[in-house]
Structure 1
Amino acid sequence: MLAALLMTACGGCSATDDKVDGDEVMDADSLVVGDQLPAFEVTMNDGSVVRTADLKGQPSVVVLFSVDCPDCRHELPEVQKLWDRSRQGELTGDGKPLPIVLIARKNLTEDIEPFWKFAELTMPYSPQPDRKVYSRFAPSRIPRIYISDASATIRVAYADTGMPTAETLAEEISRLNE
């Protein structure tokens, strides 16, 4: 099953290079609770493809991150704990894995893999050479975590500071399953 955890923007880290292929990053406000997840399609490092449409019909998590971000490096192991609980069927009422999608803000596989190995992370992620996908969610700041409901409406959003533990994320998800 797909994993829908999307994490971006570094705690205290704002965008320093706001160009995407020579074009300015979309000047959009950050998504907030009540907004719909934006349309996106990403290829994960395991070869699977995740689209916004794949996240409908059940709660999901999107995590935007950068391995260059100290706050992201701190939060990613918490996301791994959530991922592990999801694979064990603990987060949904039907015992199926929860979609969790991790999307890099601007890191390629060769940037991400050393940290993944060091931190013993096993979650699939989508490496991104630029901020095109990230810019659909926010203009700056990472990490970011969005929890959406079955209609792909954002119900919980975390950005930059005060990031949640795996237990807090699991509690937020369980509220959506009630």
Structure 2
Amino acid sequence: MNIMTLRNAAFGGLALLLAACGQGPEATGFITENLPPPDGAAIEDGDVPRDDAGRPFQYGLLGETLPAFSVSMPDGAEITDQDIRGQWMIVDFWGLWCPDCIVDARHVDALYAAVQDEEGLGMLSIHSPPNPNRINDAFGRWESLEAYTEETGYGGHSAVDSDASAIDAFDLPWVPMYFLVDPEGTIRGFRSGLSTAGDEPVETFLSEVREVIEAG
């Protein structure tokens, strides 16, 4: 989901302009360097280049140190950016207000389980409201993350960004987003959803992650 639509309505015009250009390249892969705008794409001031569906080809923090943040685990433990350094980490943001996130939920749980068998790789999944001005919209039609997990079985491993400070710090152009962070805390790649990763989205993503890790 294009989070810019939740921050301002300007992207609506961009989407129409992109659609008018016809079907172009898709930003559905694992992106490890910011890609140039596709030919003919219209870019709103302050926004990143996007494909026809609104998925970003670029992310402002790619190649940069991840921002300072703090989130709470289900048991109440606090996790900060400092806590996830020292090993390769997948960090993903999602929310129950986001239809694309709900589509991805089963894949995220499968990814989390698969990562437990990957030596030297961890995962932190963060449930966030859309932004600091929409805290009350965090859980969609559910009253809480716990209620969603009880109904579906998904999301029980997620940390919670209760005040939207973490999602605000990451300045996301899309949700859900999946980042690979190296042991020094540098964001080395991102993917804007797992449901677009083919017939085996978890294994496809892990293969992409392994390639970056093996390259160092």
**Structures share fold, TM-score greater than 0.5:** yes
- Rounded to whole Å, the distance in 1 between the matches of 2:82 and 2:212 is 18
Question: Structure 1 unaligned runs (5+)?
Answer: 1-10, 19-26
Find the residue that maps to 1:136 and give its secondary structure.
helix
Q: Which has the higher helix share?
A: 2
Alignment of 1:6-155 (within 5 A): 11-14=1-4, 16=6, 30-87=59-116, 89=117, 91-92=118-119, 98-106=121-129, 107=138, 110-121=143-154, 123-138=156-171, 140-155=173-188
Query: CA distance change for structure 1 residues 161 and 121 in 2, over 3 Å: closer, same or farther?
Result: closer
Aligned residue pairs total 154
Deviation at 1:123, TM superposition (A): 4.1
- Rounded to whole Å, the distance in 1 between the matches of 2:195 and 2:63 is 20
Partner in structure 2 of residue 6 of structure 1: none
Partner in structure 2 of residue 7 of structure 1: none
Question: Structure 2 unaligned runs (5+)?
Answer: 9-45, 49-58, 130-137
Q: Which has the higher strand share?
A: 1
Query: Greater shift after overlay, 71-80 or 107-116?
Result: 107-116
Partner in structure 2 of residue 168 of structure 1: 204
Larger RCO (CA under 8 A, 6+ residues apart) = 1
- Percentage of pairs with the same residue: 23
Q: How well do the aligned residues superpose, as a CA RMSD in angstroms?
A: 2.9
Partner in structure 2 of residue 5 of structure 1: none
Deviation at 1:117, TM superposition (A): 2.5
Q: TM-score, normalised by structure 1?
A: 0.71
Q: Which amino acid aligns with 1:167?
A: E
Find the residue that maps to 2:90 and give its secondary structure.
strand
- Rounded to whole Å, the distance in 1 between the matches of 2:66 and 2:77 is 19
Question: Which runs of 4 or more aligned residues in structure 1 lie more than 4 Å from their structure 2 counterparts after TM superposition?
Answer: 27-30, 160-163
